[in-house]
């Protein structure tokens, strides 16, 4: 099936959101645009916008490829997307509150109890704990794919420690530096206020006992983490401290950070450390990344941890397959944004179907991320499919499978001009006393012709995402 091109569909011609850009592009000199691509790379290199690739000694630090052709979304399309995202986020928070308290959705039989009880992302330590403000997922990245003019699907929910927002911000700043005239002739909604919105949103969910302006910090695993650039970037942009576990300790029932004037209490901790490493007294005793005793402080209501421990269960791809039921259960309405049909390989009939159709499907690990541990059937060799089938048979509950969708394409700039490449979109959602969605998000693009894998660790790049102010 031919992919839907968001700029220039074969059937209808140039789409309206791209008319202003197309008029501008036709007047541009190809050599000038090529030089602008080099300028963008120099900006990214100078700024240090990199990510780490684990397991590769050579070129462990890479620049994320950036394409200068923006992805453009109309205001009407964006309004439709945000309505569906808000509904989904509300359901996710209600689901988390429920499974760590009354578990009514399990009692109602809408989700199998064993899917929760045996899930490594479910934290028994969070049972009965309600975060300040009742918010579990303070920052969410919802991955969305487009199939045609009117069909959007949620690919997955990132409710634990979603990354990529720094690239969204740097992409926009770079585009504004390179093409200021474009932003004068096309009204694009801003994204650059995200750090201020993030700080306000985190401050709004401070612990009940904090009456003054809360002290906020970003907890990073350290400079060797693949997303360290983003941790440092966001702390700097928010004007808050970037801390590591060794900088923190529990003092008088609160978490405090080391300063030149002694230890200072922290009220809100935006953590970019996984659950297992957060508190060596509660989780992994060998962790040097977390804070001994922080979970006791958290259970006492003396600190807000964003996102809350235990939210990773919403990243689980088996749970994802039940999202239509979850949304309807907690909101009373059908999901406005659809799920991709999903086969749960833990179910014998589904496993049988998947094994018989491996060459047609995309198979993913339930807890996988970054494009690792997956099989794209149509692009795999017979030998690769056979090897993967053995993995499936050995650990069926570790996998889900989905049809190979014809993801929409957006043009990138190549030596021969514009060429279509597959894309997805990660809008970033902030949740506190209200839900805020920055107009745009991170567009990831598969730079290899024909590839459906957009992850930067697998050769993908990024684009600036424009939401028109119409």
pLDDT in tens, 147-164: 999 999 999 999 998 999
pLDDT at 241 over 80: yes
258 and 155 within one domain: no
Same domain for 227 and 141? no
332, part of any domain: yes
Report strand pairing: 216-219 vs 241-243: parallel
Residue 332 and residue 279 share a domain: no
Containing H/E element for 243? strand 241-243
For residue 302, pLDDT over 50 is answered with yes
161 vs 31, 183, 192, 196, 334, CA distance in Å? 40, 32, 20, 19, 27
- DSSP code, position 401: E
> 11 lies in a domain?
no
- Over residues 206-216, the pLDDT tens digits come to 999 898 999 99
Residue that finishes a domain, picked among 353, 372, 403: 403
10 belongs to a structural domain: no
* Final residue of a structural domain among 302, 330, 361: 302
Q: Does the pLDDT value for residue 370 go beyond 60? A: no
**Does residue 2 lie in a domain region?**
no
Residue 391 has pLDDT above 80, yes or no: yes
| Residue 5 forms part of a structural domain | no
Residue-wise pLDDT tens digits, 250-288: 999 999 999 999 999 999 999 999 999 999 999 999 999
Do 235 and 106 share a domain, yes or no? no
Q: Which of 403, 426, 446 is the last residue of a domain?
A: 403
* pLDDT over 80 (residue 54): no
Q: Is the pLDDT of residue 85 over 70?
A: yes
Q: Are residues 379 and 413 in the same domain?
A: no
Q: Please say if the pLDDT value at position 457 is more than 70.
A: no
Q: Compute φ and ψ for 253, nearest 5 degrees.
A: 80, 10
Segment 174-188 shows an average pLDDT of 96
Q: Which of 306, 120, 156, 119 is nearest to 219 (CA)?
A: 306
The length of the chain in residues reads 470
Mean pLDDT, residues 305-323 taken together: 94
Q: How many domains does the chain have?
A: 3
Res. 143 pLDDT band, cuts 50 70 90: very high
77 and 179 belong to one structural domain: yes
CATH number, domain containing residue 349: 3.30.1490.270
pLDDT exceeds cutoff 50 at 59: no
Note whether 272 and 355 are same-domain residues.
no
For residues 148 and 24, state if they share a domain: yes
Render pLDDT for 396-454 as a digit per residue (tens, 0 to 9). Answer: 988 999 998 889 999 999 988 999 999 999 999 999 999 999 999 999 999 988 887 78
384 in any annotated domain? yes
CA distance readout (Å), 289 to 112, 130, 275, 367, 427: 34, 24, 11, 21, 28
Cis peptide upstream of residue 307 (ω within 30 degrees of 0): yes
Higher pLDDT, 46 or 58: 46
- In a domain, residue 3? The reply is no
What pLDDT score was predicted for residue 45?
85
- Whether 58 shows a pLDDT value over 50: the answer reads no
Share above pLDDT 90 across residues of the chain, in percent, rounded to a whole number: 80
Domain range spanning residue 396?
Answer: 343-403
Edge-to-edge strands, sheet with 343-344 = 343-344, 399-403, 361-365, 375-376
Q: Are residues 111 and 228 in the same domain?
A: no
What's the CATH code of the domain at 229? Answer: 3.40.50.11290
> Is residue 276 in some structural domain?
yes
Specify whether 196 is located in the same domain as 230.
no
Q: What is the pTM of this model?
A: 0.92
* CB-based contacts of 341, cutoff 8 Å, min separation 6: 402, 403
Average pLDDT over residues 335-344: 94
221-237 burial code (b ≥16 CB/10 A, e <16): beeebbbbbbbbbbbeb
Q: Assess whether pLDDT exceeds 90 at residue 61.
A: no
252: Cβ contacts below 8 Å, ≥ 6 apart: none
Q: Are residues 228 and 333 in the same domain?
A: no
Same domain for 225 and 101, yes or no, is no
328-349 mean pLDDT:
94
């Amino acid at each position: 099936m031919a992919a839907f091109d968001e700029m220039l569909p074969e059937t209808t011609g140039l789409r309206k959101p791209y008319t202003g850009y197309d008029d501008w592009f036709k007047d541009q000199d190809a050599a000038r645009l090529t030089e602008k691509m080099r300028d963008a790379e120099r900006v990214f290199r100078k700024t240090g916008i990199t990510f780490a690739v684990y397991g590769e000694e050579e070129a462990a630090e890479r620049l994320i490829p950036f394409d200068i052709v923006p992805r453009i979304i109309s205001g009407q399309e964006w309004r439709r997307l945000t309505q569906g995202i808000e509904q989904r986020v509300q359901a996710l928070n209600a689901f988390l509150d429920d499974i760590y308290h009354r578990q009514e959705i399990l009692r109602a039989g809408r989700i199998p109890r064993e899917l929760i009880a045996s899930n490594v992302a479910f934290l028994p330590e969070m049972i009965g704990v309600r975060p300040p403000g009742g918010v579990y997922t303070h920052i969410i990245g919802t991955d969305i794919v487009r199939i045609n003019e009117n069909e959007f699907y949620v690919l997955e929910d990132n409710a634990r420690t979603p990354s990529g927002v720094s690239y969204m911000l740097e992409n926009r700043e770079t585009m504004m530096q390179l093409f200021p005239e474009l932003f004068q002739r096309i009204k694009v909604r801003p994204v650059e206020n995200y750090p201020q919105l993030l700080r306000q949103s985190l401050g709004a969910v401070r612990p009940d006992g904090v009456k003054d302006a809360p002290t906020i910090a970003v907890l990073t695993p350290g400079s060797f983490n693949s997303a360290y650039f983003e941790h440092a970037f966001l702390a700097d942009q928010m004007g808050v401290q970037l801390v590591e576990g060794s900088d923190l300790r529990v003092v008088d029932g609160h978490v405090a950070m080391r300063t030149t004037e002694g230890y200072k209490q922290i009220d809100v901790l935006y953590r970019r450390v996984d659950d297992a490493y957060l508190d060596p007294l509660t989780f992994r005793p060998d962790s040097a990344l977390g804070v001994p005793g922080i979970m006791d402080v958290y259970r006492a209501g003396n600190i807000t941890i964003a996102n809350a421990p235990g939210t990773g269960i919403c990243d689980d791809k088996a749970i994802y397959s039940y999202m239509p039921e979850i949304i309807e259960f907690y909101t009373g309405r059908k999901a406005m944004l659809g799920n991709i049909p999903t086969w749960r390989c833990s179910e014998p009939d589904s496993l049988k179907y998947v094994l018989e159709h491996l060459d047609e499907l995309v198979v993913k690990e339930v807890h996988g991320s970054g494009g690792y541990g997956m099989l794209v059937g149509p692009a795999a060799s017979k030998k690769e499919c056979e090897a993967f089938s053995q993995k499936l048979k050995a650990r069926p509950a570790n996998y889900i499978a989905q049809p190979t969708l014809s993801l929409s394409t957006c043009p990138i700039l190549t030596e021969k001009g514009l060429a279509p490449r597959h894309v997805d979109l990660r809008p970033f959602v902030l949740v506190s006393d209200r839900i805020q969605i920055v107009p745009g998000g991170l567009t990831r693009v598969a730079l290899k012709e024909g590839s459906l894998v957009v992850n930067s660790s697998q050769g993908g790049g990024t684009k600036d995402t424009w939401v028109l102010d119409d």
